[in-house]
Chain A
């Protein structure tokens, strides 16, 4: 093309394409450095066993957090019903052990996908408020778990799940699954039509709708993937504890959100990546580990994690607020 076709306005100074270290990178860099210093000066931190422990503890939350990343990128904020969904998936998984491991996993995944995709459909097609909807769904699913289990722990008739507690090459199977799911999610986000549409819907839902993009469909897809991730977490939790009671999910919901946010994914949607979430999950896990080794209480661990997440959220928000003008 000839230069005469370019109007002079195109010569506005070009913003360098995100290469320069932004405030977020600085916050995370400082946090990582502080953790590193604390870690190196902590006895027993730099041992192989400890590294395994860190990865193992990151895995359960991490798998759910990867799923939550997709949902957050699509602008649906996040599900507040993850713990309950994981519990139901775990119970279904244990109750179907006698049909064989494969069947049990498939049934548990189908259960997680169904529960979560329905919420995604209501949010995607009818524009429900995700926070309100998933709080309500959380109660309903929690009720389902209580009804299913009769309030007592669910045990497996046959322990087919033992395979899932294997530690190939010294690392729990869940760690490998986390890595595979991270790579898969990253590939979906970056290389597929649906992934691209998730970013667009999350950035500007009204524009996506007016352009005729399949807003409802991609939202349901993201939530279905999220449901599958939650169910995988539930399956591993059930195998690990060998039984499932109604509080099996524990703090999964908020821990997963914390991992996504610590990775710097914007809660308003349109930005983020699975790799970042993986980093966030590992960072939070390292913090817990260091504080644990130094003898701090659980309360102190939660406090430090909370402060980090807060710092990241504030930085991300300030950055996007300034970017908009």
Chain B
């Protein structure tokens, strides 16, 4: 047997709780093999075992026919397994070439510049980064190109198997296409690819074979050509998720609307205007750099140089200061829940009530019982276990962390508008449906809901009104039915209507 990778009966548990049980699959040479499953299905654990970060309790890993024990990432690297992690691990301050050499066990002690340079050039060319200079600081590249450099680094290590863990989670669709092209090129050279992703349509387009995990078990391995997104979802969830019904627009209520007039952020956003009615969900469709996210950040007070006028509930909002924006009733959910959202080491309870402390206090003194009641109610509403509120948020899955982040803004008397930047980024499908339901019920309760997203499925599913943006300008506005292809065209090639 000379298959590059055979996984046979792999199992691993944590503290007696099995995370992976009896997972087996085979990856052939030059095959792009997808690993799917929602959070908690065991994908990350499998990836960690294959890349030497965890040792299996049972089962075997065969590389090129040899059973191996991988005790560290270096050991895995020596066997030809390269991992491109979920989060970027490139160093912006270094040059592209330095980043390529970073963590490469094959790099000689004394760096031979010319050899390294030639090799770096070759690897970059192969990934379609021909216009990138190896001596260029990485900071000058866009986020998509950085991701490609990270993939290039994995390739430059003469890998037989490249594991890509959510490589496109932070990328716009255009940048994702470049990653797909690179992955195809890598595979065409005979290198195998294990591709972990939540984005199912991209999985079906890119991959040859799909292995589905559910609750740590191996559900199925089948050719991607035989699957549809819906079938894949059914296999991942074991049930068909319901699509939310289309809704009639509520009567406009100007007294409770959010009025944005010629909002601008120098270099990022030009003259954005919108009157958002309560009870409706407004979707800002735009890739990274389109200004969609800047609309939300400016409203939340995080762009001190923003200009324009904003009013909520007929009161002017001082939107250049986050404290004033929050006091005016705007609640912001950042696209980066780890560094700009949650207090990870703190308990769920603390996180849920973090922004409503004054309401739970009398004369500045907290009332523990009121706090506990409030946290429990929010946990129940957000679909979190109400009996585990003392657990640090860091121990939760991405989906549940996001529920805490969104849930913290619900049921507040003094919040009138929710601003969400990529509300389901890095969230599993189950969690995503739950968060969409939360946002819908918030709108039903009379809130203005405004969110930005790059995902077509999310935009179509959740947005009552979709506004497309590109290069800091509004391209189009769609109140009724619209095709995904139209949105995509607006987002990538659209010209300003103004």
Contact = CB atoms under 8 A, between A and B. Distances in A.
Interface of A: 1, 5-15, 17, 191-194, 196-197, 199-200, 203-204, 206-207, 209-217, 270-271, 320, 323-325
Which 4 A/B pairs are nearest by Cβ-Cβ distance? A212-B326, A9-B397, A9-B40, A13-B15
Contacts of A8: 40, 215
Q: With a 10 A CB-CB cut-off, give which of A9, A13, A14, A196 has the most chain B CB atoms.
A: A9
Given A7-B431, A8-B40, A9-B399, A210 B366 contact: no
Given A204-B344, A271-B345, A12 B396 contact: yes
B385 interface: yes
Contacts of A12: 14, 17, 40, 395-397
B383 A5 contact: yes
Interface string B313-355: 0000000001101110011101000011111111000100011
A196 B39 CA distance: 31
A6 B385 contact: yes
Most interface-central of A204, A217, A270 (chain B CB within 10 A): A204
A172 to B, nearest CB: 31
A123 B62 CA distance: 56
A214 B323 contact: yes
A207 B341 contact: yes
A203 B396 contact: no
B354 A210 contact: no
Contact of B323 (A192, A196, A212): A212
Given A194-B364, A270-B345, A211 B355 contact: yes
A193 B358 contact: yes
B300 interface: yes
B365 A10 contact: no
B397 A192 contact: no
A17 B345 contact: no
Interface residues of B, number: 56
B301 A193 contact: no
Contacts of A323: 345, 394
A214 B326 CA distance: 10
Interface of B: 14-17, 39-40, 215, 300-302, 322-323, 325-327, 330-332, 334, 339-346, 350, 354-355, 357-358, 361, 364-366, 380, 383-386, 388, 390-392, 394-397, 399-400, 408, 428, 430-431, 434
Given A5-B383, A7-B40, A14-B388, A212 B300 contact: yes
Nearest to A202: B343
Given A7-B40, A8-B215, A193-B357, A210 B391 contact: no
Nearest to A323: B345
B15 A7 contact: no
A191 B366 contact: yes
Report which residue of B17, B39, B331, B340 has the largest number of chain A beta carbons within 10 angstroms of its beta carbon.
B340
Contacts of A9: 39-40, 396-397, 399-400, 428, 431
Nearest to B343: A203
A102 B395 CA distance: 52
- The residue in A196, A211, A320 that gathers the most chain B C-beta atoms within 10 A of its C-beta is A211
25 contacts: A7-B383, A7-B430, A7-B434, A9-B399, A12-B395, A12-B396, A13-B14, A192-B365, A193-B357, A199-B343, A199-B346, A200-B346, A203-B345, A203-B346, A207-B341, A207-B343, A210-B334, A211-B355, A212-B330, A213-B323, A213-B326, A213-B355, A216-B323, A320-B345, A324-B344
B357 A196 contact: yes
A15 B343 contact: no
A57 to B, nearest CB: 34
Nearest to B342: A207
Interface of A is mostly: helix
A212 B396 contact: no
A14 to B, nearest CB: 6
Contact of B340 (A10, A207, A216, A270): A207
Contact of B326 (A192, A211, A270): A211
A11 B345 contact: no
Given A9-B39, A10-B397, A206-B340, 16 more contacts: A6-B385, A10-B396, A12-B40, A15-B395, A196-B350, A199-B343, A200-B346, A203-B346, A204-B340, A207-B340, A209-B302, A210-B302, A210-B332, A212-B355, A213-B354, A271-B345
B432 to A, nearest CB: 11
A200 B390 contact: no
Interface centre among B14, B39, B325, B364 (most CB of A within 10 A): B364
A40 B372 CA distance: 46
Contacts of A193: 357-358, 361, 364-366
A8 B388 CA distance: 14
A10 B358 CA distance: 29
B282 to A, nearest CB: 20
Contacts of B384: 6, 10
Contact of A13 (B16, B340, B358, B383): B16
A14 B325 CA distance: 37
Contacts of A325: 394
A6 B340 CA distance: 25
B133 to A, nearest CB: 32
Contacts of B354: 200, 211, 213
A210 B17 contact: no
B366 A204 contact: no
Given A10-B396, A206-B339, A192 B364 contact: yes
A212 B361 contact: no
Contacts of A212: 300-301, 322-323, 325-327, 330-332, 355
B322 A7 contact: no
Contact of A17 (B327, B390, B394): B390
Nearest to B433: A7
A15 B392 contact: yes
B41 to A, nearest CB: 8
Contacts of B300: 210, 212
A214 B340 CA distance: 15
Interface centre among A13, A192, A210, by most chain B C-beta atoms within 10 angstroms, is A210
A153 B446 CA distance: 68
B388 A10 contact: yes
B401 to A, nearest CB: 10
B295 to A, nearest CB: 15
B213 to A, nearest CB: 12
B433 to A, nearest CB: 10
B52 to A, nearest CB: 16
A224 to B, nearest CB: 15
Contacts of A217: 323
B191 to A, nearest CB: 29
A240 B67 CA distance: 75
Contacts of A191: 365-366
A214 B355 CA distance: 10
B361 A192 contact: yes
